[in-house]
Amino acid sequence: MTFARLIASTAASLTLAGAVAAQDTSIIVQSTTSTANSGLYDYLLPIYTGESGITVNVVAVGTGQAIKNAENCDGDLLLVHAKPSEEKFVAAGYGTQRTDLMYNDFVIVGPESDPAGVAGMSDVEAALAQIAEAEALFASRGDDSGTHKKEVALWQAAGVDPTTGSGEWYRETGSGMGATLNAGIGMGAYVMTDRATWISFQNKQDYSVGVEGDEAMFNQYGVIPVNPEHCPSVKIEAAQDFADWLVSEAGQAAIAAYEVDGQQLFFPNAAGS
């Protein structure tokens, strides 16, 4: 090999190494919409990237879709809020390990007119039963998201099948949380939402939280690196680094510090935090 060809070969190798290194400095997180809609990532990610040099790109969809995307190897890390589905994801070999990250709660919001008379209730099953009995409009995401999964479970616990009123008093939007809130408020319907999205939501009009405080409305978030044995292309080192930071003392403190209008939106509860 001539000296010139040796130099060219070395330069090409260095360029390839640099490209690989650049690829390793960015990851894709498949995430629930609530963490994006609330502004949490806008707050957290600059802190993490500044410390690590790793860029985090977020795909914000419903939890069900986020899990499917991760199963299809379209991401490096999963951050969602449907614990039974997350545990199935890991048990099936799609994720390496699930860790509790943070929590808040779900609430039911409604108009000032409160047609079902549920304002001030803390028993969510009783409140849903009253909404169904009154056939008061209720807007559901209907999209297999974490919020929708919880809503379906709560209707079941209340002994109500709201789909018998589908298209009448029970309206399924098939949309994300923000869009469903807008649609629900536009039609005067009750809506179940995570509290973080509600606090951040700008189009409240005459709506307020009507039902809250039931333990059944607890909303746990988890973080799971995608398993490289299932997805060989996953950037496991960078994904694990971000997961480790989120559950570290620094990451948990950053989550706790995020507020909107003086209200804390998420409460860290990773083990040992």
140 and 70 in a single domain? The answer is no
Is the pLDDT reported for residue 11 higher than 60? no
Query: Which residues are CB-contacts of 100 (< 8 A; sequence separation ≥ 6)?
Result: 220, 221, 222, 269, 270, 271
230 and 210 in a single domain? The answer is no
Amino acid identity, residue 193? Answer: T
In-domain check, residue 162: yes
pLDDT in tens, 228-246: 999 999 999 999 999 999 9
pLDDT in tens, 72-122: 999 999 999 999 999 999 999 999 999 999 999 999 999 999 999 999 999
Nearest by Cα to 272 from 100, 103, 104 = 100
pLDDT score at 25: 85
- H helical segments located in the chain: 3-23, 33-37, 40-52, 63-71, 83-91, 124-134, 146-157, 177-187, 195-200, 236-247, 249-257
Nearest by Cα to 247 from 90, 67, 48 = 48
110 and 167 in a single domain? The answer is yes
97 and 143 in a single domain? The answer is no
- Which pair of structure tokens corresponds to residue 134? 């009154």
In-domain check, residue 1: no
Residue 227 has what DSSP assignment? Answer: P
In-domain check, residue 5: no
Q: Which domain holds residue 204?
A: 105-217
In-domain check, residue 197: yes
Residues 126 and 262: beta-carbon distance below 8 Å: no
| Residue finishing a domain among 217, 232, 259 | 217
Q: What percent of the chain has pLDDT over 90?
A: 86
Arithmetic mean of pLDDT over the chain: 91
Residues 36-59, mean pLDDT to the nearest whole number: 96
Residues 162-189, mean pLDDT to the nearest whole number: 96
pLDDT score at 21: 41
Nearest by Cα to 236 from 9, 17, 48, 23 = 23
In-domain check, residue 14: no
pLDDT in tens, 68-85: 999 999 999 999 999 999
Residue 55 to residue 58: CA distance in whole angstroms = 10
Residues 195 and 105: beta-carbon distance below 8 Å: yes
Q: Please identify which residue in the block is written with the tokens 């999205």.
A: 197
201 and 224 in a single domain? The answer is no
The 3-state DSSP class for residue 140 equals strand
In-domain check, residue 258: yes
Number of H helices, E strands in the chain: 11, 12
Residue 39 to residue 190: CA distance in whole angstroms = 24
Query: What is the number of other CB atoms lying within 10 angstroms of the CB of residue 256?
Result: 15
Q: What is the pTM of this model?
A: 0.85
CATH of the domain at 66: 3.40.190.10
203 and 230 in a single domain? The answer is no
Residue 71 or 144, more confident: 71
- Dihedral-angle region of residue 34 (phi above 0 means left; psi in -120 to 50 means alpha; beta otherwise): alpha
Residues 59 and 66: beta-carbon distance below 8 Å: yes
Going by pLDDT thresholds of 50, 70 and 90, the confidence category of residue 24 is low
The 3-state DSSP class for residue 30 equals strand
Residues 112-139, mean pLDDT to the nearest whole number: 98
206 and 120 in a single domain? The answer is yes
Residues 254 and 245: beta-carbon distance below 8 Å: no
In-domain check, residue 8: no
262 and 251 in a single domain? The answer is yes
Q: Please identify which residue in the block is written with the tokens 């304002």.
A: 119
Query: What is the number of other CB atoms lying within 10 angstroms of the CB of residue 25?
Result: 13
44 and 179 in a single domain? The answer is no
The count of structural domains within the chain is 2
Residue 56 to residue 256: CA distance in whole angstroms = 20
236 and 258 in a single domain? The answer is yes
75 and 149 in a single domain? The answer is no
